[in-house]
Amino acid sequence: MKVIMLGAPGAGKGTQAKKIADKYQIPHISTGDIFRANIKNGTELGTKAKAYMDQGLLVPDELTLELIMDRFKEPDCKNGYVLDGFPRTIPQAEALTRALEEQGESIDYAVNVEVPDENIISRMSGRRACLSCGATYHIVHIPTKVEGVCDRCGEKLVLRDDDRPETVEKRLGVYHSQTQPLIEYYTSQGKLAEVDGTQEMEAVFEAIVKILGA
Ligand code: ADP
Ligand code: ADP
Ligand code: ZN
């Protein structure tokens, strides 16, 4: 199964993508996580990407596409994947469609997790991330057992540099101008499915499972 998660920054794509990956036994591929791992490891790609990410801008398509096309070559992708944060622009979506077409394939669903802008700022300012294992929490809605410590791996949690309110507003603008057009793109391909992302986490997941099948 090949699934794309669409939605604004903070809509809950990553949270749901992890649950989908667990249930359907497919890899969760997050371009944001891959960029952050590169930044942490001080790679050249990481240095290039960080300059854009810190400003709330998208990393250029060439760089992103090179990275994701390499990722698709890994053996764990043979049964599909759940994509979180990719594609984020029309050229990225077109490149994905072409790459799959060359193998006689296509994605199954693009799931749009809908959350209005008003809710996004509070979701993001409360988000705490584990840069070690990729887990994500929320100080109010999805708290950890011990404050500030990852339940899964015990690392210290951080507020991402790009989750500060000034940068979040900019990222929302970028989302509306560059990523939202993908909703139309996947609607016209007959692949779009919508879920109400303002519900609590488990209810959102139930709605997604109804779409993907149990
Ligand atoms: P969020 O989970 O809030 O949606 P991500 O972790 O997906 O954020 O992405 C963080 C940042 O990484 C983005 O603001 C952007 O700078 C960069 N990024 C991630 N995926 C892509 C992509 N597909 N194309 C361009 N930039 C990307
Ligand atoms: P995205 O990957 O779309 O940027 P995340 O999955 O990282 O979004 O979620 C953003 C923040 O909102 C995180 O702090 C997460 O714990 C929290 N969150 C995710 N889903 C829900 C939900 N259904 N209700 C409340 N908070 C949520
Ligand atoms: Zn962790």
In this prediction, residue 91 carries a pLDDT of 98
Closest to 182 (Cα-Cα) out of 51, 86, 83: 86
Catalytic residue among 88, 123, 128, 191: 88
What's the farthest any 2 CA atoms get from each other in the chain? 48
Who's near 188: CB < 8 A, 6+ residues apart?
A: none
Is 122 part of a structural domain of the chain? no
Q: 134: Cβ below 6 Å to ligand 1?
A: no
Answer yes or no: 123 catalytic: no
Is 184 part of a structural domain of the chain? yes
Is 40 part of a structural domain of the chain? no
In this prediction, residue 161 carries a pLDDT of 87
Q: How confident is the model at residue 142 (pLDDT cuts 50, 70, 90)?
A: very high
Atom in ligand 1 nearest the alpha carbon of residue 171 = 14
Going through the chain in order, the beta strands assigned E by DSSP cover: 2-6, 28-30, 81-84, 109-114, 127-129, 136-138, 192-196
Q: At 4, which helix (H) or strand (E)?
A: strand 2-6
Is 99 part of a structural domain of the chain? yes
Coil/strand/helix, residue 63: helix
Is 85 part of a structural domain of the chain? yes
* Residue 180, domain extent: 2-27+74-116+172-212
Q: How confident is the model at residue 35 (pLDDT cuts 50, 70, 90)?
A: very high
Please give the average per-residue pLDDT across 155-182, as a whole number: 95
Q: 15: Cβ below 6 Å to ligand 1?
A: no
In this prediction, residue 122 carries a pLDDT of 86
Who's near 201: CB < 8 A, 6+ residues apart?
A: 12, 15, 16, 141, 142
Question: 195 pairs with which residues across the strands?
Answer: 113
Structure tokens at 171: 């990222």
Give the CATH number, domain containing residue 86: 3.40.50.300
Answer yes or no: 171 catalytic: yes
Is 146 part of a structural domain of the chain? no
C-alpha 71: how far from its chain's center? 15
Q: How far is the CA of 199 from the centre of ligand 2 (A)?
A: 11
Is 66 part of a structural domain of the chain? no
> Of residues 95 and 132, which shows the higher confidence score?
95
Q: Express each pLDDT in 77-88 by its tens digit.
A: 999 999 999 999
Q: How confident is the model at residue 52 (pLDDT cuts 50, 70, 90)?
A: very high
Is 147 part of a structural domain of the chain? no
Rg value, the chain, Cα: 16
In this prediction, residue 47 carries a pLDDT of 96
Phi, psi of 29 (to 5 degrees): -110, 110
Number of folded domains in the chain? 1
- Does pTM top 0.85 for this prediction? yes
If you average pLDDT over every residue of the chain, what do you get? Answer: 96
Q: 35: Cβ below 6 Å to ligand 1?
A: yes
